[in-house]
Amino acid sequence: MELAIETINLTKIYGNKIGCTDVCLRVPRGQIFGFLGPNGAGKSTLVKMLVGLLYPTSGQARLLGYPLNNIEIKGKIGFLPENFRYHDWLTLRELLEFHSKLYKLSSSKRSKQINAVIDTVGLTGKEHQKIRTFSKGMQQRAGLACALLSDPELIFLDEPTSALDPLGRMEVRRILLQLKDTGTTVFLNSHLLSEVEMVCDTVAFIKGGRILRQDSLEQLQSGEIAVELMLSGINDIVKLALSNIALSLTIDGDIVTAFVNNEDDIPRLAEAVIKSGAHLYEMTRKRSSLEETFIELTGGVDH
């Protein structure tokens, strides 16, 4: 498996305070990777070390196969910090022109790449509008455009949707999935669990500067599936029919919760209810949510 990020016991100590300690991560290329933890857990510290804004106290890391101190890697990564502030008196195109020069893009490539990132973030037609007139969602997309100018293979996003309304978050999710489709690896540092659950392939949890767990989202949400059925006419025949399919049942009035091993059992539950002569009014599939896993691992949820 080719890795975009690999860290080995990466540690940052601020005097007597631990930023993060002995962090070991393996992030495959081409994935959207979610990095989760409460405020002050060490998420931003790790990101800043990986992008070169902080020097590690100890440990090692490689990005796209290169060590952190390799200059060549800087042109292959993008970064959108959490509290970015851009020159709001500039137009979008002027801002991107400025950043393209910082990336040392050639004049022949500059215009083409600027047009490409404006299209990617959905700001076509806003090129000559000043940044100060942009909504928060538009400013966030402008920041993403800056981070994408070098056509990075790996991009770090530090809380990219925390200040956005639902429509803004949806637009950012669209962009993240589009980046993944083009092969870009996305490192998403976030405390918005529902957002991570919608887009990420793999997640890691951190608390107190230490990694608690790293796993695929699919693996984290595997296990028994709870299916809640709202019925009328529950009798012993219905109970027996459901028990032949489910691992276990709980019944509370007209609500039956059946626990099954796999999704193929769900339509069988509905069929069993109908064949037994009961009436099925509602059926809801449930799985362990990312929020439940977060609470279990960290001892609390951070909204």
Quick: pLDDT tens for 108-134: 889 999 999 999 888 999 999 999 999
Indicate the pLDDT class of residue 303, thresholds 50, 70 and 90. very low
DSSP character for 97? H
For residues 268-294, average pLDDT: 84
pLDDT of residue 152: 92
Q: Which tokens is 123 given?
A: 């700001």
The residue to which tokens 């930023």 are assigned: 19
The residue to which tokens 């009035």 are assigned: 253
Number of domains in the chain: 2
- The CA distances from residue 168 to 162, 184, 263, in Å, are 10, 21, 33
269, part of any domain: yes
Q: Are residues 214 and 237 in the same domain?
A: no
Q: Are residues 86 and 148 in the same domain?
A: yes
Q: Is the pLDDT of residue 209 over 60?
A: yes
Given CA atoms 144, 146, 27, 175 in this order, what sign does their dihedral have? positive
Q: Which CATH number covers residue 92?
A: 3.40.50.300
DSSP character for 156? E
Q: Are residues 185 and 250 in the same domain?
A: no
For residues 168-178, average pLDDT: 86
- pTM given for the model: 0.77
142/302: higher pLDDT: 142
Q: Are residues 188 and 230 in the same domain?
A: no
Render pLDDT for 59-102 as a digit per residue (tens, 0 to 9): 999 999 999 888 888 889 999 988 777 888 999 999 999 999 98
Q: Which CATH number covers residue 266?
A: 3.30.70
pLDDT of residue 302: 47
Q: Are residues 275 and 147 in the same domain?
A: no
- Domain coverage including residue 266: 225-286
Q: Is the pLDDT of residue 23 over 70?
A: yes
pLDDT of residue 92: 95
The residue to which tokens 């806003």 are assigned: 126
The H or E element spanning position 114 is: helix 107-120
In the chain, what is the straight-line distance between the N-terminal and C-terminal CA atoms, in Å? 34
129, part of any domain: yes
Q: Are residues 46 and 132 in the same domain?
A: yes
Render pLDDT for 192-203 as a digit per residue (tens, 0 to 9): 787 788 889 999
Contact 60, 8 (CB under 8 A): yes
Contact 99, 146 (CB under 8 A): yes
Q: Are residues 124 and 271 in the same domain?
A: no
Cα separation, 116 vs 187, in Å, equals 21
